[in-house]
Structure 1
Amino acid sequence: MIRPEILAPAGNLEKLKTAINFGADAVYLGGSKLNLRAFADNFSNEELKEGIKYAHDREKRVYVTLNVFPHNEDLEGLEEYLKELYELGTDAIIVSDPGIIMTAREVVPELEIHLSTQANNVNYKSAIFWHKQGVKRIVLARELTLEEVAGIKDKIPESLELEIFVHGSMCMSYSGRCLLSNYMTGRDSNRGACAQPCRYKYKLVEEKRNEEYFPIMEDDRGTYIMNSKDLCMIEYIPELVKTGSVSLKIEGRMKSAYYVATVVKAYKEALDTYMKDPEGYEFNPKWLQQLDRPSHRKYYTGFYLGDKDSQIYESSSYIRNYDIIGIVKDFNKEEGIATIEQRNKIFDNDTVEVLRPVGDNIEVKLTEMKDENGKEIESAPSAQMIFNVKVDTELEKNDILIKAKEEKK
């Protein structure tokens, strides 16, 4: 039985390092051009060079997305960009457009190509077709059952790999190929600029009564008729592995480093536990509890199990039980003082949890808070400010500090 890789999103260099530190086998990211997250931080070539080195030094892989559907002007400089990615050591590119695939085969024939989910591959014949065009891996469309995924695997050559999404946001449109954003806001989702109008609040208007708005549901908030739940397959690790897919993909290049760390850690623990003893494997509820903490919408199992209850009609809000409040940058063992880079406002004498790659979370109390200049402060309110605190437990560099959100009264 082959152990699939855990493939994590990396919206920026910090998230790349977080994903790898917390156990991802590979990361995917957007470079400076042609990716579907135009509003993510994305990577300059220098950052990409540093990120690839960081990954390769730890025997991890880096995939770069070029998954837009490009117009003519988008293709300017494509050949040079592909050569740059190859020379930087990119392990594979994720592509949806046949023109980009053809160009890649011409100018960087040794660069591995993965077919993006945007190409909505849902059958084995299409998979074989793309394989003949030089594609090494198919990122299958999300509109498939586990049985269908396994069926595709049974009918394709051994040399062709399959990758499937296992966690994260779902799109209301088929494999993400949506026109709503372009139509309503002029921002083309198929060129990386989606405004997510499927998350907007809608009301019904009768043709001849333009000023009369009728709630589709019996409340005063309207209804979120296109607002998909989030995919979560943590409870079905054995079934995912048995499909024969080589990669389990986590969605979320726009999400926080805390989200990346938590989700990667949960899936890694679950997968490692199963691979160690498939026959004796039992699901541990703590993994799902961990996934309830970072920002997410209500979970469901997507199309994999035939679940039809996929929409959230009441709200477009995220469930967010915990916030990241800081990342440990250094720890002085002799004095018990931690240097923290702030992520959300935190107060002196607050009790927080420590999230690290291995082991359960631990609680620590932050005391004697001081700024960089050694001045005592009552809180750390400024974004990414550096501050020092005393703790009675040894912390490690890159530990993530999190805190439960206070319930609104």
Structure 2
Amino acid sequence: MNKIELLAPAGDLEKLKIAIVYGADAVYFGGEMFSLRAGAGNFSVEEMKEGVTFAHERGKKCYLTVNIFAHNEDIEPLGKYLNTIKDIGIDAFLVSDPGVFDLIREHDPDAVIHLSTQANMTNYKTAGFWYRMGVKRLVTARELTFEEIRLLRSHIPEDMELESFVHGAMCISYSGRCLLSNFMTERDANRGQCAHPCRWQYSLMEEKRPGEYYPIEEDDRGTYIMNSRDLCMIEHIPELIQAGICSAKIEGRMKSIYYVATVVHAYRQAIDAYYADPDNYEFNEEWLTELKKASHREFTTGFYFNQPTNLDQNYQTSAYNREYSFVGIVKSYDESTGYAIVEQRNKMTVGEEIEVFGPDISYFKQKVTEMYDFESGEAIESAPHPQEILKFKMNKPVRPDYILRKRITK
């Protein structure tokens, strides 16, 4: 049985490495131009080379997003860019614009092309068209139900793959085709610069009554009327696989390495548990509990089971739920002494309880009993400065890239 691919976001080189260490089979990322996440760190050509090498050495794949809707002024620089990166070894290009598709083919006739979700692929006739054009994989529109995906799968060639989003932010507009950001902030979502106005708070005000805001719904000072919950399908791994999806895609190129590690780790465990014994698979609630330790909005299953209703929106707030803080990442560990070298990411204080998790363990709890500044060797009571390097006493053995977190106290 071919395993479903776990595909993770990589907003920068560090996130790429963490995603792979924590169990991703493949990663997708953007270069410094021509990607729909201009706010992510994204990759220079040299970083792209390093990332692809890192992934390939571990048997993993790298997909480059070139999914803007190109304007005339984009064509010439995009051609030069494609010529610069054509020998890096990208495993596939994610494309939504037919012109970009042609341009990639001109510069690399053997390039593998995946159709981005931005292309709004919703039916098997459209799938057939793209298959004849040479597309290897379709990223389905988020608006498809399981029933539609199964029907699509039954009408397309066996060697054409389906990739679907399973976790992360949802867009109020049809597969991300949105002009709201452009209209309100002159930042074009279709060229990677979305300002996310769908998350803003809205009210109704009558022209001759300035300052008198009328409720649209739910709240007397306004509502987040376009604010979708986050997609979460970890409880439905069997349905995803049985629908014929070959790649389970996590959204979040602008999220932290802590988010990437947490989400990839949870889905890796769920997918592996299913394939270990499909007939007797049972969902483990601990996987969902772990997911909730990363910042998130309330969860929804999106369109998979039905058309979303008002219950799939959050009208009260656009804020994330944050119960845990990412406080550090292990750089090395000395088994003989039990001390780890830790790069701090948020404030830690002696006496606090933390949790430690890694790609090959669940997690364990311990108190911070002692910390030392790595350079001076002096004992310290707290570590408030970003990315301090600390010497840290661990209760159990750890490895590089294990992550430290603590519950946020209010």
CA deviation string 1:255-280 (max 9, x = no partner)? 11111111111111111111121111
Task: Report how far residue 208 of structure 1 moved.
Answer: 3.8
Q: SS where residue 77 of structure 1 aligns?
A: helix
Task: Report how far residue 26 of structure 1 moved.
Answer: 0.1
Provide the C-alpha distance between the structure 1 equivalents of 2:142 and 2:85, rounded to a whole number of angstroms: 28
Provide the C-alpha distance between the structure 2 equivalents of 1:79 and 1:211, rounded to a whole number of angstroms: 51
Correspondence for 1:83: 83
Correspondence for 2:353: 351
Correspondence for 2:394: 391
Provide the C-alpha distance between the structure 1 equivalents of 2:270 and 2:336, rounded to a whole number of angstroms: 36
Provide the C-alpha distance between the structure 1 equivalents of 2:70 and 2:388, rounded to a whole number of angstroms: 40
CA deviation string 1:272-330 (max 9, x = no partner)? 11112111111111111111110000001000011422211011010111111000011
CA deviation string 1:348-392 (max 9, x = no partner)? 232211111122211123232121221222211111121112223
> Which stretches in structure 1 are left out of the alignment for 5+ residues?
none
Provide the C-alpha distance between the structure 1 equivalents of 2:235 and 2:259, rounded to a whole number of angstroms: 18
Whether contact under 8 Å (1:323, 1:344) holds in the other structure is yes
Whether contact under 8 Å (2:339, 2:394) holds in the other structure is yes
Provide the C-alpha distance between the structure 2 equivalents of 1:42 and 1:318, rounded to a whole number of angstroms: 23
Q: SS where residue 332 of structure 2 aligns?
A: strand
Aligned with residue 377 of structure 1, among 380, 383, 398: 380
Provide the C-alpha distance between the structure 1 equivalents of 2:86 and 2:153, rounded to a whole number of angstroms: 29
Provide the C-alpha distance between the structure 1 equivalents of 2:40 and 2:226, rounded to a whole number of angstroms: 23
Provide the C-alpha distance between the structure 1 equivalents of 2:289 and 2:14, rounded to a whole number of angstroms: 25
Provide the C-alpha distance between the structure 1 equivalents of 2:315 and 2:331, rounded to a whole number of angstroms: 42
Equivalent positions of 1:303-318 (< 5 A) are 303-306=303-306, 307-308=308-309, 309-318=311-320
Aligned partner letter, 1:161: E
Task: Report how far residue 106 of structure 1 moved.
Answer: 1.6
Whether contact under 8 Å (2:218, 2:316) holds in the other structure is no
Task: Report how far residue 220 of structure 1 moved.
Answer: 4.4
Provide the C-alpha distance between the structure 2 equivalents of 1:207 and 1:25, rounded to a whole number of angstroms: 55
Provide the C-alpha distance between the structure 2 equivalents of 1:199 and 1:32, rounded to a whole number of angstroms: 26
Equivalent positions of 1:63-142 (< 5 A) are 63-142=63-142
Q: SS where residue 279 of structure 1 aligns?
A: helix
Provide the C-alpha distance between the structure 1 equivalents of 2:279 and 2:394, rounded to a whole number of angstroms: 42
Q: SS where residue 367 of structure 1 aligns?
A: coil
Check 1:88–1:359 CA distance in 2 against 1; reply closer, same or farther (3 A cut): same
Provide the C-alpha distance between the structure 2 equivalents of 1:264 and 1:366, rounded to a whole number of angstroms: 27
Whether contact under 8 Å (2:164, 2:248) holds in the other structure is yes
Check 1:405–1:143 CA distance in 2 against 1; reply closer, same or farther (3 A cut): same
Correspondence for 1:152: 152
Task: Report how far residue 218 of structure 1 moved.
Answer: 5.2
Whether contact under 8 Å (2:127, 2:138) holds in the other structure is yes
Provide the C-alpha distance between the structure 1 equivalents of 2:75 and 2:328, rounded to a whole number of angstroms: 40
Provide the C-alpha distance between the structure 1 equivalents of 2:163 and 2:173, rounded to a whole number of angstroms: 20
Task: Report how far residue 163 of structure 1 moved.
Answer: 0.4
Provide the C-alpha distance between the structure 2 equivalents of 1:234 and 1:197, rounded to a whole number of angstroms: 28
Aligned partner letter, 2:226: M
Aligned with residue 341 of structure 2, among 334, 339, 342: 339
Runs of 4+ aligned residues of structure 1 deviating over 4 Å after TM superposition are none
Q: SS where residue 327 of structure 2 aligns?
A: strand
> Which stretches in structure 2 are left out of the alignment for 5+ residues?
none
Whether contact under 8 Å (1:2, 1:244) holds in the other structure is no
Correspondence for 1:330: 332
Provide the C-alpha distance between the structure 2 equivalents of 1:76 and 1:387, rounded to a whole number of angstroms: 48
Correspondence for 1:202: 202
Correspondence for 1:235: 235
Provide the C-alpha distance between the structure 2 equivalents of 1:105 and 1:68, rounded to a whole number of angstroms: 16
Task: Report how far residue 15 of structure 1 moved.
Answer: 0.8
CA deviation string 1:237-271 (max 9, x = no partner)? 11000111110000000111111111111111111
Check 1:211–1:349 CA distance in 2 against 1; reply closer, same or farther (3 A cut): closer
Instruction: Give RMSD over aligned pairs.
Output: 1.3
**Range with bigger deviation, 267-276 or 77-86:** 77-86
Whether contact under 8 Å (2:67, 2:116) holds in the other structure is yes
Q: SS where residue 255 of structure 1 aligns?
A: coil
Whether contact under 8 Å (1:92, 1:111) holds in the other structure is yes
Provide the C-alpha distance between the structure 2 equivalents of 1:248 and 1:127, rounded to a whole number of angstroms: 19
Whether contact under 8 Å (2:331, 2:342) holds in the other structure is yes
Whether contact under 8 Å (2:346, 2:386) holds in the other structure is yes
Identity of aligned residues (%): 56
Aligned with residue 370 of structure 2, among 347, 363, 368: 368
Aligned partner letter, 2:181: S
Provide the C-alpha distance between the structure 2 equivalents of 1:359 and 1:390, rounded to a whole number of angstroms: 19
Aligned length: 407
Aligned partner letter, 1:103: L
Provide the C-alpha distance between the structure 2 equivalents of 1:218 and 1:59, rounded to a whole number of angstroms: 50
Q: SS where residue 302 of structure 1 aligns?
A: coil
Whether contact under 8 Å (1:7, 1:247) holds in the other structure is yes
Task: Report how far residue 134 of structure 1 moved.
Answer: 1.9
Task: Report how far residue 120 of structure 1 moved.
Answer: 0.5
Correspondence for 1:30: 30
Provide the C-alpha distance between the structure 1 equivalents of 2:95 and 2:58, rounded to a whole number of angstroms: 25
Provide the C-alpha distance between the structure 1 equivalents of 2:5 and 2:88, rounded to a whole number of angstroms: 22
CA deviation string 1:20-75 (max 9, x = no partner)? 01110000001121001111100111111111011000000000101111111222
Q: SS where residue 353 of structure 1 aligns?
A: strand
